[in-house]
């Protein structure tokens, strides 16, 4: 009997504890988000009703169901604030992901062309910033971008600008922050596919007379598409719901959906509306999430 | 040098600029943490003043302590659960609900944190749980066990299965074969997974903000509320200490993966 088969049963038992944990703390909570997104706001603790009470018997449950409403969703679709927030989130995510691809690709390409030993070093160098705190890296940029920060000092010293430029609270600062924070997520999957590529393919194209840009565009780039897909999903999905970066670096006149959700929850204490915003965000991200899940599973399990 | 012959000038430039972009901001932050001047922009000579200030700030110290406790506890539980999940997925063949299982494990890796944080908070409120250390720990465990599972699973996938088979051919029971053959081989990945879970937990702001209660702020929550008010040299000092702590963790993790690469393929990139 092969080890695969003998191992199968105890390995299945290994699934029990993490399975129960994930159902309890990942799946079930979504049920609560859905439920509260359908309930009314109330000035109470917790600030919503109806309170679902299973012990109150069947009529109470029926009454609770009758009290469910889609008012919050109606508010989300009718109020410009939310519609704009969703649109802005998508636009920011698309733009930032495109920037990340443009900046990350040459770096990953350079890494893949390093000698093998240096590739490992370069990979560690790209991963290390991912390990250092996210918040601290954003803070580092506030240091640089503030009114009398290093960037303005350098620009003034070089006489490139006459007076300090306003960087903070602009979209430019936000894009710098996003690109900076998510760059490793773009580089690593790109590098993984580029490093596996057979150098002979590019050489053959070159030997047959293709100029370098054609070699890249007709051979290298199409072969790296799986890495492009992984990198794009890995960046796009979390950026849509990003909160910290736009909150600290972008201006407050146009918000992303992660920020409105945060605001509704912590400032307005409107849990039902925050929950509805989360549900809509989840629906928007469902397709990319499913794509990502399939990609990840194929990569890890079909070896 | 012939081994660098495949690099064009463009490749070298993009590598150099890319790495400079990744490291300069952190370097600047660290240097300014030793600045004697209160103004972040004026260099007033080297000083440890802001470190003294940090150690005298009891609220910050308390928050750091809370963060370290949460990170240690959640990383340990997450490593246990994540490793079990990885074993089930890479050795368990088909079982009912497997697709759901892997979906639940991979989704949190990219799920926006505001959603995860909000949904867990609503659960804790519904359960009437007192919010504080344990709710944050549970929330962080849920997120980080997925990262551990990916790291360990990728190591298990690259492992030579004939070793396990040989052990069992020689009469080892499956569980024993796992404990005495497989486990030592994946140990470096498990260590790396713990380290990753630890740093992720130490770093998290959004999920912790949702799931913690009054009076038990973590370090990122404290830092965030200070940063919103503007740049303060003390924050540079705290950040430098966190970076130093994480650097130590990375060195240990990379030593662990060195061990693993001498026994076969290296551990997962994350």
pLDDT digits (tens, 9 = 90+) for A69-80: 777 777 777 777
Top-confidence residue, A297 or B31: B31
Our CA-based measurement puts residue A233 at a distance from the nearest CA of chain B, in whole angstroms, of 8
**Cβ-Cβ contacts under 8 Å, A34 against chain B:** none
Count of Cβ atoms closer than 10 Å to residue B2 Cβ: 6
User: What is the pLDDT, as a whole number, of residue B143?
Assistant: 95
Min mean pLDDT across A58-62, A146-150, A156-160 is at A58-62
User: What is the pLDDT, as a whole number, of residue B260?
Assistant: 57
Does B251 contact A at CB distance below 8 Å? no
Residues B62, B65, B69, B70: what is their CA dihedral angle, to the nearest 10 degrees? 60
* Chain B interface disruption, residue of A1, A4, A11, most B CBs within 10 A: A11
User: What is the pLDDT, as a whole number, of residue A49?
Assistant: 56
> Which three-class secondary structure state does DSSP give residue B35?
strand
**Cβ-Cβ contacts under 8 Å, A125 against chain B:** 19, 22-23
Top-confidence residue, A97 or B178: A97
User: What is the pLDDT, as a whole number, of residue B269?
Assistant: 41
Answer yes or no: are the C-beta atoms of A278 and B119 closer than 8 Å. yes
Per-residue pLDDT of chain B (270 residues), as tens digits, is 456 667 788 888 889 999 999 999 988 888 888 888 777 667 777 888 888 888 888 888 999 999 999 999 999 999 999 999 998 888 776 777 788 888 888 888 888 999 999 999 999 988 888 899 999 999 999 999 999 998 898 888 878 778 878 888 887 877 888 888 888 888 888 988 998 899 899 989 999 999 998 888 999 999 998 888 877 888 889 889 988 888 888 787 777 766 655 444 433 344
**Cβ-Cβ contacts under 8 Å, A107 against chain B:** 14-15, 18
User: What six digits make up the tokens of B114?
Assistant: 């505001």
Confidence check: pLDDT of A1 > 60: no
User: What six digits make up the tokens of A45?
Assistant: 């603790």
Q: Report the residue of chain B nearest A104, measured CA to CA.
A: B18
Pairing of strands A40-41, A48-49: antiparallel
User: What is the pLDDT, as a whole number, of residue B8?
Assistant: 81
User: Is the Cβ pair B40, A146 closer than 8 Å?
Assistant: yes
**Cβ-Cβ contacts under 8 Å, B178 against chain A:** 7, 10
d(CA A67, CA B176): 56
Confidence check: pLDDT of A3 > 60: no
User: Is the Cβ pair B165, A33 closer than 8 Å?
Assistant: no
User: What is the pLDDT, as a whole number, of residue B2?
Assistant: 53
User: Is the Cβ pair B110, A238 closer than 8 Å?
Assistant: yes
User: What is the pLDDT, as a whole number, of residue B263?
Assistant: 46
- Residue B46 backbone dihedrals phi, psi, to 5 degrees: -75, 140
Q: In terms of Cα–Cα distance, which of A98, A81, A12, A254 is closest to B94?
A: A12
**Cβ-Cβ contacts under 8 Å, B22 against chain A:** 125-126, 129, 180, 183-184
**Cβ-Cβ contacts under 8 Å, A153 against chain B:** 41
The fold of the B58-262 domain, in CATH, is: MetI-like fold (1.10.3720)
Taking a contact as any Cβ pair under 8 Å apart, which residues of chain B between 180 and 219 contact chain A?
Answer: 196, 199, 202-203, 205-206, 209-210
> Which three-class secondary structure state does DSSP give residue B23?
helix
List chain B domain ranges.
Answer: 58-262
Confidence check: pLDDT of A238 > 80: yes
pLDDT digits (tens, 9 = 90+) for A100-111: 999 999 999 999
User: What is the pLDDT, as a whole number, of residue A9?
Assistant: 67
Q: In terms of Cα–Cα distance, which of A206, A239, A201 is closest to A99?
A: A239
User: What is the pLDDT, as a whole number, of residue B265?
Assistant: 41
SS (H, E, C) B166-196: HHHHCCCCHHHHHHHHHHHHHHHHHHHHHHH
User: Is the Cβ pair A107, B18 closer than 8 Å?
Assistant: yes
Count CA within 13 A, CB hemisphere, residue B23.
12
Structural domains in chain A, sorted by start? 19-69 (no CATH), 70-301 (1.10.3720.10)
Strand partners, A48: A41
User: What is the pLDDT, as a whole number, of residue A150?
Assistant: 83
Answer yes or no: are the C-beta atoms of B227 and A248 closer than 8 Å. yes
- Closest CB from A21, A30, A150 relative to B28: A150
pLDDT digits (tens, 9 = 90+) for A253-268: 788 999 999 988 888 8
pLDDT digits (tens, 9 = 90+) for B43-83: 777 888 888 888 888 888 999 999 999 999 999 999 999 99
Residue A116: pLDDT band (50, 70, 90) is confident
Q: Report the residue of chain A nearest B8, measured CA to CA.
A: A110
Top-confidence residue, A12 or A191: A191
User: What is the pLDDT, as a whole number, of residue A2?
Assistant: 47
Residues A85, A87, A92, A97: what is their CA dihedral angle, to the nearest 10 degrees? 140
CA B128 to chain centre: 29
């Amino acid at each position: 009997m092969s080890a695969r088969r003998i191992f199968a049963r105890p390995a299945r038992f290994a699934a029990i504890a993490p399975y129960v944990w994930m159902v309890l703390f990942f799946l079930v909570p979504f049920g609560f988000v859905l439920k509260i997104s359908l309930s009314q706001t109330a000035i109470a603790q917790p600030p919503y009703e109806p309170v679902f009470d299973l012990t109150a018997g069947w009529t109470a449950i029926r009454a609770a169901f009758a009290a469910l409403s889609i008012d919050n969703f109606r508010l989300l679709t009718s109020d410009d604030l939310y519609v704009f927030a969703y649109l802005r989130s998508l636009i920011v995510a698309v733009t930032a992901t495109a920037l990340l691809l443009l900046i990350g690709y040459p770096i990953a390409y350079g890494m893949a062309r390093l000698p093998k030993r240096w590739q490992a070093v370069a990979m560690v160098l790209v991963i290390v910033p991912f390990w250092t705190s996210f918040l601290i890296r954003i803070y580092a940029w506030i240091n640089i971008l503030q009114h009398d920060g290093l960037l303005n000092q350098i620009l003034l010293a070089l006489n490139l600008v006459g007076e300090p430029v306003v960087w903070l609270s602009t979209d430019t600062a936000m894009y710098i922050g996003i690109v900076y924070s998510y760059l490793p997520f773009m580089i690593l999957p790109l590098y993984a596919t580029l490093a596996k590529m057979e150098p002979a393919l590019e050489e053959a194209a070159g030997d047959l007379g293709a100029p370098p840009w054609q070699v890249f565009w007709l051979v290298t780039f199409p072969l790296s598409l799986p890495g492009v897909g992984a990198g794009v999903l890995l960046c796009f999905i979390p950026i849509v719901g990003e909160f910290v970066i736009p909150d600290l670096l972008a201006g407050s006149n146009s918000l992303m959906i992660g920020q409105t959700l945060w605001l509704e929850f912590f400032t307005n204490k409107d849990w039902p509306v925050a929950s509805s915003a989360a549900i809509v965000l989840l629906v928007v991200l469902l397709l990319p999430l499913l794509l990502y899940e399939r990609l990840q599973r194929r990569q890890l399990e079909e070896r | 040098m012939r081994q660098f012959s495949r690099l064009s000038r463009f490749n070298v430039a993009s590598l150099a600029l890319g790495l400079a972009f990744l490291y300069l901001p952190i370097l600047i932050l660290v240097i300014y943490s030793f600045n004697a001047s209160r103004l972040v922009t004026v260099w007033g000579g080297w000083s440890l003043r802001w470190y003294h200030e940090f150690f005298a700030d009891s609220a910050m110290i308390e928050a750091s302590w809370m963060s370290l406790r949460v990170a240690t506890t959640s990383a340990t539980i997450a490593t246990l659960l994540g490793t079990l999940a990885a074993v089930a997925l890479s050795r368990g063949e088909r079982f009912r609900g497997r697709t759901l299982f892997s979906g639940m494990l991979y989704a949190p890796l990219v799920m926006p944190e505001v959603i995860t944080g909000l949904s867990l908070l609503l659960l804790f409120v519904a359960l009437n749980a007192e919010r504080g250390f344990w709710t944050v720990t549970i929330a962080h465990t849920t997120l980080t066990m997925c990262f551990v599972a990916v790291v360990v699973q990728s190591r298990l996938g690259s492992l030579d299965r004939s070793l396990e088979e040989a052990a069992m051919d020689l009469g080892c029971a499956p569980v024993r074969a796992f404990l005495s053959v497989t486990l030592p081989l994946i140990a470096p990945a498990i260590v790396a997974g713990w380290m990753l879970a630890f740093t992720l937990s130490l770093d998290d702001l959004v999920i912790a903000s949702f799931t913690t209660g009054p009076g038990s702020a973590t370090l990122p929550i404290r830092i965030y509320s200070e940063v919103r008010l503007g740049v303060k040299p003390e924050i540079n000092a705290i950040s430098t200490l966190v970076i130093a702590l994480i650097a130590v963790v990375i060195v240990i993790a990379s030593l662990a993966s060195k061990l693993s690469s001498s026994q076969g393929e290296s551990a997962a990139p994350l």
